Every structure is written in C-alpha cells, then in structure tokens.
Structure 1
Amino acid sequence: MARLALDREALERYMTAERIQTKFELARRMGVSPSTITRLFDGTQAPGPAVIAGFRSAFPGRNTDQLTTPR
C-alpha cells in the first residue's frame, strides 16, 4: 500500500475557505491532538486513517482526497 503525504497547500486553502485560522482549531475540528497537526505539517507523520477521518469531519462536503498525495 502506498504511503500518503499531506498536500499542505491544499490544506491551507481548505482552512482558509472554512475560516480555520489556527492549527489548534484544525485539530479540534478534526478530533486529533495539536501535536498530530504539527507532525503532519512538518512531514514527520503521514496521514493515517484517523487523520483522513478527521479531514472529513473538519471539511464536510469537500473532497478531502485532495489533501493527500502518494509519496
């Protein structure tokens, strides 16, 4: 199975569209820890099932597949 990487530019666009101003707010909406968001942004953590589910929670009605790319 291919590993995924975060598309930071896409995530930042989604955050702007949803008026999410901080990584802390993003973590809250996704139901993950703020440290998870930090690791995603710095590339030390790949998006896994909990993060993918969190994207769906934070961005309802949006195509969250665009937030990840294959490594």
Structure 2
Amino acid sequence: MSTPANFNGQRPAIDANDAVMLLIDHQSGLFQTVGDMPMPELRARAAALAKIATLCLSLMHLSAPTRRSDRADAV
C-alpha cells in the first residue's frame, strides 16, 4: 500500500488527543439499503467501531429524543 500524497511521504497517524469518532444512529431500516456488503458483516463492523470508541475515548456523549417533538422531521 502506498502512502497518500497529502502526507508528504510520511505515514499518516491519528493523535488520540486531537481526534473524535462520531457514530450516528440512523433509523433501523437504513442498514437494509446498504448493498456492497452482507448485513451480518455491516452490523459486526458497526458494533466493532462502537466498542473501539468506548475503549479509546474517555468522553462519550449519548443523546436520544425524549419526546416526539424532539425529532427533526425536516432536513
């Protein structure tokens, strides 16, 4: 695997002190629209990312709508 040009020939690195992992929980039917990998693999990858984020990040913010009016109907 070659190094991308935007890293000036150096290996890309992620600084844990200057990084964020954002996981967005979409509606459950969204996974069914993914067609480039099997459903079990997609679910396993999403679960693995969530577990990694839990282990690596000290600050987690979870939010969910509490009332029907909290949901955004318009995009």
Give the shorter-chain TM-score range: under 0.3
Q: Which fold has the larger relative contact order, with Cα–Cα distance below 8 Å and residues 6 or more apart in sequence?
A: 1
More strand per residue: 1 or 2? 1
More helix per residue: 1 or 2? 1
Larger radius of gyration: 2
| Normalised TM-score (structure 1) | 0.27
| Normalised TM-score (structure 2) | 0.26
